[in-house]
């Protein structure tokens, strides 16, 4: 539980090293995806729930939920 209700600004965070999609379901508003995430700091996040709307999928120009999760987490192709 948070010690304060005041928002906290952090200058840096830990990068995501890898992620695994455990489960995904589609509904009328979009996808609900269950993830395990490995952070660069050495910590793991398990059973993280992410919601991606159908509008998000259109914006990412993909129908592949794995690609959409990559984009949502900030994994972009850097080659041109």
- The tens digit of pLDDT for each residue in 22-64 reads 999 999 999 999 999 999 999 999 999 999 999 999 999 999 9
Write down how long the chain is.
80
User: What one-character-per-residue DSSP string does 47-66 give?
Assistant: EEEEEEEHHHHHHTT-S-HH
Burial of 19 (0-12, 13-18, 19+ CB in 10 A): buried
Domain ranges for the chain, please list them.
16-72
Residue whose pair of structure tokens reads 């992410």 in the numeric block: 50
With 0.85 as the threshold, say if the pTM is over it: no
Q: Measuring CA to CA, how many Å separate 66 from each of 8, 21, 24, 70, 73? A: 31, 8, 10, 6, 11
């Amino acid at each position: 539980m948070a010690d304060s209700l005041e928002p906290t600004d952090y200058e840096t965070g830990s990068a995501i090293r890898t992620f695994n999609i455990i489960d995904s379901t589609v509904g009328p508003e979009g996808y609900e995806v269950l993830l395990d995430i490995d952070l660069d700091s050495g910590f793991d996040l398990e059973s993280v729930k992410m919601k991606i709307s159908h509008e998000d999928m259109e914006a990412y120009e993909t129908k592949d939920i794995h690609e959409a999760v990559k984009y949502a987490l900030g994994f972009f192709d850097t080659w041109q």
